[in-house]
Amino acid sequence: MTTPGEEMHALVERMYPLRRSITGDGVRATLDVVGELLPLEVHEVPTGTQVLDWTVPQEWNVREAWIADPSGRRVVDLADSSLHVLGYSVPVSARMPLSELRPHLHTLPDRPKWVPYRTSYYKPDWGFCLAQETLDALPDGEYEVRIDSTLADGHLTYGEHVVPGQVPDEVLVSSHVCHPALANDNLAGIAVAAFLARSLAGSTPYYTYRFLFAPGTIGAITWLARNAGRVERVKHGLVLACAGDRGSLTYKRSRRGDAEIDRVMRYVLETSGRPHETREFTPYGYDERQFCSPGFDLGVGSLSRTPYAGYPEYHTSADDLDFVTPEAMEDTLAVCREVFAVLDRNRRYVNLSPYGEPQLGRRGLYGALGGRSDAQEAQMAMLWVLSLSDGEHGLLDVAERAGLPFDTVVAAADALHGAGLVKA
């Protein structure tokens, strides 16, 4: 029987060869794969649409791209890896000497076996990415260069999956779907988000959960532009990226720094005993910088393992299927589920008997604890909930201040609510 981690890794493997960019059929194919796991509403936004300070660009698709050496042998070929072509390359069909070709070749001299990931989204250009050792072995002579691509009016594509909650207030989970052949950045994030959404299927959480699968930067900006009138519903959010490498977890706080998601993430990571790091917000990285931009200022943080640009394999061919592990993705998924379990139950209560301590025994609340190994802890949780149920403190405040497990505090609040001593 396969584990969730193994299933997520298999999903990453399926998406890995698809030729993704910020637009085009590779994004659609990726969303089709995700759509096999959960229903997606797919949106197509036409080229030229004004989205905040940006404009939706032309759609790019590439069918083949290769370089043939003087003997006719293809020394670089898109068929071998979708990293081999510069993203958004304009069409090329030409013959040229190596000296003329070299300025269009991108390598990593300090990592001679790796192929870099490079793009030219907003400046017309063309090029190839290859290993330095491949470039070093190229003989002088005339080369044939072919990039069969189209850059034409089309659409920007993104997908959404919504889990309806008891209230219209939303938790936004976002992952970018634009990078080709990079397993950790961000196929692992897509896989964890999809399985997180699937884990909520059939449930009725308190919050409405919105899962966004969109191209980086321009996709998030497009979503914000199209949802500006209802974005105030987003009360909490999390950007998932680099979710599958062997590093320990890293959480980047929201721009606010004290949003509820920041507090919940800190609590879950600290009480779990997992090695982790918490970083302050910076306006650089993934799409948390769009959601946290001052005009929106949403409470959105970012969860990764080794963070943005923090590992040598980042944006290279070494970010491959062996770089991500089932165990790491399963651990990231587990943390997300724990975080949302806390977030979804972090209510504020009002004590309905606030003058003096109410008599718990005659309401059967002490009796309900009989035989429990944690009876004393549960009793203290009730007293703490009563003490802090002033409409200003949530159950996470109680757990942190009392040093009690969050689940114990929730159980105490449920018991007190059932006895008519507190109301949400």
Predicted pLDDT at 5: 98
Average pLDDT value for residue range 80-89:
98
- CA 307 vs. chain centroid, Å, equals 12
User: Could you report the per-residue pLDDT of 334-369, keeping only the tens digit for each?
Assistant: 999 999 999 999 999 999 999 999 988 888 887 555
Is the pLDDT confidence value at 236 over 80? yes
Picking from 157, 160, 156, the residue whose alpha carbon sits closest to that of residue 41 is: 160
**Structure-token match 């659409």, residue found:** 155
Dihedral sign (CA 94, 98, 100, 105): positive
CA distance linking residue 82 with residue 317, whole number of Å = 10
Is the pLDDT confidence value at 372 over 60? no
Q: Please, are residues 196 and 161 in contact by the beta-carbon 8 Å criterion?
A: no
Q: What angle do CA 45, 47, 52 make, to 5 degrees?
A: 70
Question: Is-above-0.85 flag for pTM?
Answer: yes
CA distance linking residue 374 with residue 109, whole number of Å = 60
Q: What is the set of domains in the chain, with CATH numbers?
A: 59-152 (3.50.30.90), 155-345 (3.40.630.10), 348-423 (1.10.10.10)
Residue type, 164: P
Predicted pLDDT at 407: 95
Is the pLDDT confidence value at 128 over 70? yes
DSSP 3-state percent helix, strand, coil across the chain (nearest 5): 35, 25, 40
259-293 exposure pattern, b = at least 16 Cβ within 10 A, e = fewer: bbbbbbbbbbbeeeeeebeeeebeeebbbbbbbbb
Query: How many CB atoms neighbour CB 66 within 10 A?
Result: 19
CA distance linking residue 272 with residue 338, whole number of Å = 9
- Tell me what the pLDDT averaged over the chain comes to: 96
Q: Is 319 annotated as a binding residue?
A: no
CA distance linking residue 344 with residue 346, whole number of Å = 6
To the nearest 10°, report the CA torsion of 180, 185, 188, 189. Answer: -110
CA distance linking residue 322 with residue 130, whole number of Å = 20
Predicted pLDDT at 287: 98
End-to-end CA, the chain: 42
CA distance linking residue 346 with residue 260, whole number of Å = 9
Classify 351 as helix, strand or coil. strand
Q: Is 185 annotated as a binding residue?
A: yes
Picking from 401, 323, 367, the residue whose alpha carbon sits closest to that of residue 12 is: 323
pLDDT band at 204 (very low <50, low <70, confident <90, very high): very high
User: Could you report the per-residue pLDDT of 129-178, keeping only the tens digit for each?
Assistant: 999 999 999 999 999 999 999 999 999 999 999 999 999 999 999 999 99
What is the strand order of the sheet 208-214 is part of? 41-46, 155-163, 208-214, 170-176, 234-240, 300-304, 249-252, 276-279
Predicted pLDDT at 360: 87
What is the strand order of the sheet 59-68 is part of? 74-77, 59-68, 142-152, 92-97
